[in-house]
Amino acid sequence: MIWHKETTLPKVDLVVLPGGFSYGDYLRCGAIAAKSPIMKAVKNFYQIGGFIIGICNGFQILTETKILPGALIPNTNQKFICKDQDLIVANNKTFFTSNFEHNKTISIPIAHHDGQYFLNGPEIDELEQNEGIVLKYRDNPNGSIKDIAGVCSKNKRVIGMMPHPERAVDKELGSISGLRMFESVISNF
Amino acid sequence: MTLNEEVFKFKVEVILKKGVLDPQGEAIKQSININNLGNILDVKQGKLFELTASSKNREQAIKEVERICADLLTNSVIEEFKYYEVSE
């Protein structure tokens, strides 16, 4: 665990920006955390080709730092949505989704108020053409453009997703799709 | 603030760009219309910031405010801003 006030990363294979809330979600979700001292080191890690996963608030932080394209805005129904969510694996050629078949439906919980993915103009076409859409919602719960639940960077080494894979790692929790994701990471190292 | 610095005050307005859904604005519009408060076609909800800057001159203060707006107060994917200097 690395504190946000740190300025350097130790030698790591993967950086995970977990979900939760940062700075009370003031201004915009993830906006103030994106300016935390540690984020300069995370940006450098991205620039040298490091692997990064951002989950929920971590995804919001990655878009606010412009490491990932787009923005996360309030759900169209203005409600906090907390439920198991069916997702479609739109790109299984990433280090986080390689254990799944293309277009497979998986179930991973969501828990967010600001999960509506937004990007428009030529940038959304570019994201699609670069196979940057990794996960899509089945029955879009929050109004995300093109049903987007998770995206990756051009180099495919940074992934951001609103659903919580760490909450789907045991049969007792209702799904092990999240476990399959973390197993994908291990099998790619 | 140091001896050779002056205080400048600014207001910054941030509003969602065209094409970005504004569910809060929509809910406010519906409330206006349901309560017969007026015939309002569209409502957009934004943010207002008041910044008090201490700078050696106005030009420097404006430069800083512009950078703050672009770097932190707005996300250019979804929002746009305008700022103006105020006396009080």
Token digits of residue B32: 């206006």
Q: Which of A56, A64, A112, A113 is catalytic?
A: A56
Q: Name residues of chain A where pLDDT drops below 70.
A: none
Per the annotation, the verdict on A164 as an active-site residue is yes
CATH topology of domain B6-86: Mth169; Chain: A , (3.30.1280)
CB A66 within 8 A of CB A93: no
Q: Do B75 and A71 touch (CB under 8 A)?
A: yes
DSSP readout, A32-69?
TGGGSTHHHHHHHHHHTT-EEEEETHHHHHHHHTTSSS
CB A7 within 8 A of CB A38: yes
Per the annotation, the verdict on A56 as an active-site residue is yes
Per the annotation, the verdict on A166 as an active-site residue is yes
Question: In the predicted model, is pLDDT for residue B44 greater than 90?
Answer: yes
A152's CB contacts (< 8 A; 6+ apart) are: A68, A91, A94, A96, A131, A132, A134, A158, A159, A160
**What's the pLDDT score for residue A31?**
95
**What's the pLDDT score for residue B2?**
72
Domain ranges of chain B: 6-86
**What's the pLDDT score for residue A85?**
98
Averaged pLDDT score across all residues of chain B: 94
Question: In the predicted model, is pLDDT for residue B47 greater than 70?
Answer: yes
Min Cα distance A13 → chain B (Å) is 30
Min Cα distance A151 → chain B (Å) is 16
ipTM entry: 0.85
* CATH 3.40.50.300 is the classification of domain A14-187: no
B29-45: average pLDDT: 94
d(CA A120, CA A174): 35
Q: How far apart are the first and last CA of chain A?
A: 20
Q: Does A18 touch chain B (CB under 8 A)?
A: no
Question: Structure pTM?
Answer: 0.93
**What's the pLDDT score for residue B1?**
66
Q: Do B77 and A28 touch (CB under 8 A)?
A: no
pLDDT higher at A123 or B3? A123
Distances (CA, A) of A8 to A17, A23, A62, B51, B65: 15, 21, 17, 32, 29
CA within 13 Å, CB half, A42: 29
pLDDT tens across B50-64, in order?
999 999 999 999 999
Q: How far apart are the first and last CA of chain B?
A: 18
Q: Does A31 touch chain B (CB under 8 A)?
A: yes
